[in-house]
Each structure stands twice: as structure tokens, then as C-alpha cells.
Amino acid sequence: MFDSLSLGLLKKIGWLRKLYYPVYVFFSSITLSFLYRSIYYNLISKFPKKIIRLVLVFYVLVITFLPFFELDDYRYFPDNFSDYAVDSDFYDDQRLSKSYITTASIPSMNIKEGFIPLFVRYTVSDNVALIAYCPDFEPAKKGGLKNGIDIGNGNFQFSTPNIDEPFPEKALKCLADFYKLSIDNQSLRADKTYFYKHPNKEEKGLLLMINIENLSKGPHTITVSRQILQDSLLKKEDYANIPFWRN
């Protein structure tokens, strides 16, 4: 960007030209500069350099700060409405096909059955808190890149890069205890918990079966909280608040 705004200044300094050239070639390739370079050279040859610099500076400023401005005439629709709104991403029957489940999800806003299958997404950013929350359990996976290449015992085999967990029940218990549930501020436990890949986008997490047979008809809210690590201490925070209607 600096080289463009200075109209090639970095390429005019002898000792710096050699250092800058590989960078120039790399960015020219990934930005497909051959599509616009002829236009750029044509402009700087026909117009005064001061004018070109001003236009380029103005252009860079516009594209840099434009995302921080938004035309919004919805005066009675506040931006901080999270506690008073319904997010369609929480419901499998309303979520856009291109959207990911960011925190948790249930099949629908209207629940007719006596149970709710609640999906809670496990995010890798929780690993630090999980290590502190379950200090007595260390998963077989170490994190990072894994491979399915086996060259031991004179063999050379390729296979799916899976790592067997000898204690999956401990991993499940750690995750299940990590997330706390409540309905209308009343704590509860899931009747059954499973590891689950959601068919939406193969998001990994837990499927918690929640019995609501004794729940009254009408509006309710499921709250999912989790542990976060702050100043080396675990603290509970809300992860998702999902309104639903019991029919």
C-alpha cells in the first residue's frame, strides 16, 4: 500500500529495491495485479502525481473506515437487544443454510414433544478452560495436526487420521459438566448426553436430551452457561439463552 501511495518509492531506493522486490512479486501475484496494473500506469502517466497521491490516499481512507459506518434509520430498534430478542440461528428450522451454529441449537422454537434435544457446540477456544476444569483427565489427542501415516514395525500404511480415546466416558463427563443448564433460572441436568456432529455443518459438540414433561405450557428460556478462565480463575458465564414455547 505504501509503495502504491508513494508511486513506487520503494522501487527507486537502490539498497531497498533488492529487499522489496520479492515482496512486490508475491503481492502482485496474489492480488492479480496484471488485471489492473496497466490502468494504474496509464493514470500516473496522464495525471499529475500530486493528484494521483491525493486520490489514492482518499481511496485508502474510504475503504479503511467505511466498515465502521452504517446507515441506520431504525431508531426504535436498539443495537443492544440481546436479552429481549430471538435469534433464528438457535433453531434448526429457521437457520439459514449457509449459517453455522455458533453456540447452541434446538429443533424449533415451538416444542410439542415432552423432551428437547439440545445441541451445544464445543469450540476449541474452550480448551484452556477445560484443562483447568478437568485437571485429572488428559485426552489422548494433543491438539494440532494429526496424521494417519504408520511407519512402525516395518510397515508403511496410510489410514484415516483418527486417534483412539481410551476413556471416552471421561471426556464426555468433562464436557457435560463444563456446560451448565437451566430453564427459567431453575438448574437442571440432561437425562442423557452424547457426543454429536450436527448435520447443519458438521459442528462438533454435545447432544443433551432434556425432559420437559412437567414444564407448563407457554414461553420459557433455556440458558446454557460455561466456564471461562480469567486471571487464572474459573468463572461461569452465559453461553446461550434460547427462548422456546412449550405447546
What does the pLDDT profile of the chain (247 residues) look like in tens digits?
A: 777 667 677 777 878 888 888 888 888 888 888 887 787 777 777 878 788 778 878 888 888 898 898 888 888 888 877 667 888 899 999 999 889 999 999 999 999 999 999 999 999 999 999 999 999 999 988 877 766 666 666 666 666 667 788 899 999 999 999 999 999 999 999 999 999 999 999 999 999 999 999 999 999 999 999 999 888 899 999 999 999 999 9
Continuous segment of H or E residues that includes residue 174: helix 168-178
- As a whole number of angstroms, the distance between CA 232 and CA 153 comes to 44
Question: What was the pLDDT predicted at 225?
Answer: 95
- Give the sheet arrangement for strand 110-111, strand by strand: 110-111, 233-246, 218-230, 180-183, 186-188
Amino acid letter, residue 229: L
- As a whole number of angstroms, the distance between CA 209 and CA 206 comes to 10
Single pTM value for the model: 0.70
Question: What was the pLDDT predicted at 223?
Answer: 95
